[in-house]
Amino acid sequence: MAIKRIMVIGAGQMGGGIAQVAAEAGLEVVLNDIDRTFIDNRLAFIGKLLDKNIAKGRISEDDKVAIMSRLIPSTDLADAAGVDFVVEAAVEKMEIKEKIFRTLDEVAAPGVILASNTSSLPITELAAVTGRPELVIGMHFMNPVPVMKLIEVIRGIATSDATYATVKELAEKMGKVPVEVNDYPGFISNRVLMPMINEAIYCIYEGVADAESIDTVMKLGMAHPMGPLTLADFIGLDTCLAIMEVLYEGFADSKYRPCPLLRKMVKAGWLGKKSGKGFFDYQNS
């Protein structure tokens, strides 16, 4: 099946980014969310990003008009009946994703692939709530989506070779580099990244050094473009905690135990950049 029209579920930072790169690649994109206001705000944000690209000479005004015309608002999952492919980028909670996938399985045409942008939840488990497990796959885009080249393509236990081949081709059409990964907690990116972030938090918790010192060591000593604690703030400490919980539960290994300081900060509402305070202060930025 030729993929010309896709649905992206979730108009947040990740879903909006996926919708943008898909529209830039020439695909029609049905951008779905529960609230039309979320969609309108995201479309306005995409328009501003495209204006910056016009100012830099990367695209023309006509390009912007064409891209925006390919972004179609939707507040009803039943609209999946008219698409060739679906990418879900809803909140990182299994019960919500399972509910979405059950509905998609009912309304999407037979043969349509259902992909999830989950950063850590099991694809095999999502596939099991559908009648098309061979057509369920993970597409873990990196943030910010328009900039980052990588997509982790996660195969569940039942994902077919044909499904993987289709997703690989689609990822490349979007200008991304797909990397095949099997379905284990955290996949590759978060299985490696999150324990490093968690260990950096333990260094604060145990009084080894302050946040600025830890980030400086990792930037200057390990050539990381961003320190792990700044990165955690940008990801969101609640998201970091949720991923560590998936790793801890999935592997039953104490090395993945979330740092108590991380739990305390999340309970305090110190979630990083989005809340104005995390390991660093963003209230005046």
- Which DSSP category does 281 fall into? B
Q: Any binding-site annotation on 14?
A: yes
33 labelled ligand-binding: yes
Structure tokens at 152: 């982790």
Please give the DSSP secondary-structure letter assigned to residue 92: S
The answer to whether the annotation marks 12 as part of a ligand binding site is yes
11 is in an annotated binding site: yes
Is 176 marked as binding a ligand? no
Q: Which of 32, 88, 152, 198 is catalytic?
A: 152
Q: Which of 24, 117, 140, 198 is catalytic?
A: 140
Q: Does 198 belong to an annotated binding site?
A: no
Contacts 24+ apart (CB under 8 A), 42-51: 42/11, 42/12, 42/15, 42/16, 43/68, 43/71, 43/73, 45/16, 46/16, 46/19, 46/20, 46/71, 49/20, 49/146
Query: Any known ligand binding at 4?
Result: no
The answer to whether 13 is a known ligand-binding residue is yes
- Residue 282's CB is within 10 A of a number of other CB atoms, namely 14
Candidate list 119, 120, 198, 275, residue with the active-site label: 119
Instruction: Please say if 224 is a catalytic residue.
Output: no
Contacts of 206 (CB under 8 A, 6+ apart): none
Confirm or deny that 284 is annotated as ligand binding: no
Whole-angstrom distance, CA of residue 54 vs CA of residue 61: 7
Whether 56 has a binding-site annotation, put simply, is no
The answer to whether 189 is a known ligand-binding residue is no
Please, what is the Cα angle at 95 between 160 and 75, to 5 degrees? 85
Pick from 187, 215, 190, 180: which is nearest to 201 by CA? 215
10 Å Cβ neighbour count for 126? 26
- Cα 172 from Cα 168, distance rounded (Å): 6
The DSSP call for residue 187 is T
**How far is Cα 126 from Cα 137, in angstroms, rounded to an integer?**
9
Q: Please identify which of the residues 32, 74, 120, 190 carries the catalytic annotation.
A: 190
**Is 119 a catalytic site residue?**
yes
Is 97 known as a binding-site position?
Answer: yes
Q: Which residue has the tokens 């997703």?
A: 167
Catalytic residues, by residue number, are 119, 140, 152, 190
Binding site, by residue number, is 10-15, 33, 92, 97, 119, 143, 274
Binding site for NAD(+), by residue number, is 10-15, 33, 92, 97, 119, 143, 274
